Structure 1
Amino acid sequence: MKQLVALILCLVAATASADPVGRVLDSHVLPGFARLAKETASLAAAAEVGCDERDPDLRAALNGALRAWAGVSHLRFGPTEAENRAFALAFWPDSRGMTPKALAGLIAAEDPVVQDAQAFAQVSVAARGLYALEFLLYDEDPAGSDAYRCALIRAIARDSAGLAQAMAADWHDRYAALMRAPGPDSPYRSQDEAMQELFKALGTGLQITADLRLGRPMGTFDKPRPKRAEAWRAGLSLSLVIAALNSQKQLALMLAEGDAGLQERLGATFDRALASTAALDDPALAGVATPDGRVRVEALQQRVNEIRELVAQELGPELGVSAGFNALDGD
């Protein structure tokens, strides 16, 4: 009996290891985009119920959508990038301050484009998506009429829900199957290429967390830039770092399933970074403007870079893949 049980366990393990890409799709990618679609749909529904910028339910719905985006923001390929969906849903970083300008233009003109979903999908990405909505809901000096701002908020929320639904449907109905079955009709010639895409996504996510989510607000010691933090108006900057790291941890551990020791080292390194976030108590990362606060954020960034180093030096060789180019190269 013991021999039979051992044989069954070996067969189960062999079956699981034979389709690592499918396992990541089913447990990480597809659920992540389903959650994003659900949270943005809730956001659109909340905007229809009440479009007052100070409405706590509307703000809570936006916060949920932003966290859901942080959980998939490393998956910057395939349906996420098609038709500029990611840029339209999540135009950040906005290094030139285009979002306030684009929104101000719509509000000043009371542009009727907000009444037509198809037309609104053609406006500048700077005036669309979750970060445009964050600006409107947390702007301390709102401009324009209440009626137009309400219409604009609803238009952005509906558009965001549509973008997220398109991503989720494209992943579920088409792209996941292409990754599961590499070959002439797939963007991937082999399972190794599909695995490399997932490994590259992990590296991209960690780079975004270290260099953008943490690096941008730090600026330089003499000139910190706290208002360059992601979603700082909503006080979500640290929360989005945590959401991203938890999702990236899940992906890393799944990719390392063939090596228990490496899984343990990755888990411990991620846990050290997450422990650093718990010690910050700085929701908007505003503390980077002080020497003590900057040191704490630098320490967190170093923890994230330790994960990046471990992923590059051990996980990549374990999988037999390299990072290659990612979505941030050339930016």
Structure 2
Amino acid sequence: MMRRWGFIILVFVWSNATAPSPSQANQRPELAAIVAASIDQHIIPSYKTLQSASEKLNANIAAWCEDGGGGAESPARATVEDSFRKSVSAWGGVAFLRFGPARKDSRQQHLAFFPDPRGVASRQLSAALKRKDPALLEPGALSQQSAAIQGLPALEVLLFPKGPETKSGLDDYGCGLAMAISANVARLSRELTEEWTRPDGWRTRMVETGPDNPVYKSDAEAAGELVKALLTGLQIVRDLGFEAMLQAEQRGRTRAGLAFERSGVARDFMLASIRSCGALAQTLRLGDFVAGDSKVGWISGWIGNAFRSLASDAEEMPMPGSARPTLGNTEGLNRVRRGKFYANGLRQIIGRQIAPTAGLTLGFNELDGD
């Protein structure tokens, strides 16, 4: 099966790609330069976007609760929903960067406990709302609790208890819990930005590699970390996005289990993830590593086309609704299948063609399951 897909990719891109110019062939990037550029031009700005969005979300939830925490009829509620959507999009831009500050103290899980197929967040939040323990609302108390009730998915459950159509208000305790969760999200986002940007932070660790560096002994190790993160992002898009939609359609399920499907902003998260992966691939200059090779030079132009196709399909494909994911029409089904195909094709080409050419060792686990 994998050989067949690889052959399809090869035939398609070979017939649609343009040959690299002589100037492109001489532009093999230095690993240290692309690591620094990727961090400065994409990763740190993305974390700053998340910090800004989450702080605004926290402030808007506080204002909404001061206004009574009303339901769909409340203008403040609409502002909260917009802030939540923007925070989810910002999270989508960094959710696949599962190393360094995100891994420390399990910040990744605390910001977004997902996948959650057993509905742990919903059960634990229901229990907390029944107990109404005031100690849980004290500053910093939530950070000592289960990761399932600390992040954006937990906030989603509070704001949309039964789905995007349900926009009920919150009582005083519910509001207090929403403010505690959003404050925790803002705190975690701020910590991530700070740990990337401080003088002895993760940026410095990745750009100043060497024998004394406790994590990255070479520029290749640092660059490899970023490429592994990119492959993780593509796997998330493939498995928890397009493949989840296909499985829901095949099994006739009402929901597909996409991230942030409950609130109706699953598309926002998915698009943000795809676009962020594409931006990271661009700053990593992946195509430049093979641009001068007459046999695989087509990859240079194909990468950008593949990411554009991914974004287009995610933007236009049907999303889960109140009855079924409704992929029934041929165009919708083809978009989802094509999206999965390109996400997998990008992982294959980047992981098995470009990374070795660039001298990067990614490790078995990053390609396991392909």
The normalised TM-score by structure 2 is 0.78
- The more displaced of 183-192 and 17-26 is 17-26
Residue 39 of structure 1: which of 53, 60, 79 is its match?
53
Structure 2 CA distance for aligned equivalents of residues 95 and 20 of structure 1:
38
Q: Matched residues, percent identical?
A: 29
Structure 1 CA distance for aligned equivalents of residues 156 and 266 of structure 2:
12
Residue 259 of structure 2: which of 210, 227, 230 is its match?
230
Find the counterpart in structure 2 of residue 200 from structure 1: 228
Shift of 1:294: 4.6
Query: For the structure 1 residues 18 and 182, does the alpha-carbon distance in structure 2 shift closer, same or farther, using more than 3 Å as the test?
Result: closer
Residue 57 of structure 1: which of 79, 88, 94 is its match?
79
- The more displaced of 53-62 and 84-93 is 53-62
Shift of 1:279: 2.9
Query: For the structure 1 residues 196 and 286, does the alpha-carbon distance in structure 2 shift closer, same or farther, using more than 3 Å as the test?
Result: farther
The gaps in structure 2 that reach 5 residues or longer are 1-22, 292-296
Structure whose residues are more often helix by fraction: 1
Shift of 1:253: 1.8
- Residue type of the partner of 1:241? M
Shift of 1:287: 5.4
- Tell me whether 1:131 sits opposite 2:153 in the alignment: yes
Find the counterpart in structure 1 of residue 184 from structure 2: 159
Look up the SS of the partner of 1:322 in the other structure.
coil
Instruction: Summarize the alignment of residues 76-155 of structure 1 with structure 2, pairs less than 5 Å apart.
Output: 76-140=98-162, 146-155=171-180
Structure 1 CA distance for aligned equivalents of residues 368 and 52 of structure 2:
31
Query: For the structure 1 residues 113 and 299, does the alpha-carbon distance in structure 2 shift closer, same or farther, using more than 3 Å as the test?
Result: farther
Residue 267 of structure 1: which of 304, 312, 325 is its match?
304
Shift of 1:308: 1.7
Find the counterpart in structure 1 of residue 350 from structure 2: 311
Higher RCO, 1 vs 2 (CA within 8 Å, ≥6 residues apart): 2
- Tell me whether 1:28 sits opposite 2:42 in the alignment: yes
Contact 1:44 1:154 in 2 (8 A): yes
Shift of 1:218: 3.3
Find the counterpart in structure 2 of residue 6 from structure 1: none
- Residue type of the partner of 2:300? Q
Alpha-carbon displacement from aligned partner over 1:272-312 (angstroms, at most 9, x marks no partner): 22222233253769754553355542332122212222212
Shift of 1:164: 0.6
Look up the SS of the partner of 2:222 in the other structure.
helix
- The more displaced of 209-218 and 237-246 is 209-218
Structure 2 CA distance for aligned equivalents of residues 320 and 23 of structure 1:
19
- The more displaced of 75-84 and 118-127 is 118-127
Structure 1 CA distance for aligned equivalents of residues 263 and 273 of structure 2:
17
- Residue type of the partner of 1:157? S
**Once superposed, which parts of structure 1, at least 4 consecutive aligned residues long, lie more than 6 Å away?**
13-17, 141-145, 283-286, 327-330
Structure 2 CA distance for aligned equivalents of residues 222 and 207 of structure 1:
22
Instruction: Summarize the alignment of residues 209-248 of structure 1 with structure 2, pairs less than 5 Å apart.
Output: 209-219=237-247, 221-224=250-253, 226-248=255-277
Find the counterpart in structure 1 of residue 3 from structure 2: none
Contact 1:217 1:224 in 2 (8 A): no
Look up the SS of the partner of 1:321 in the other structure.
coil
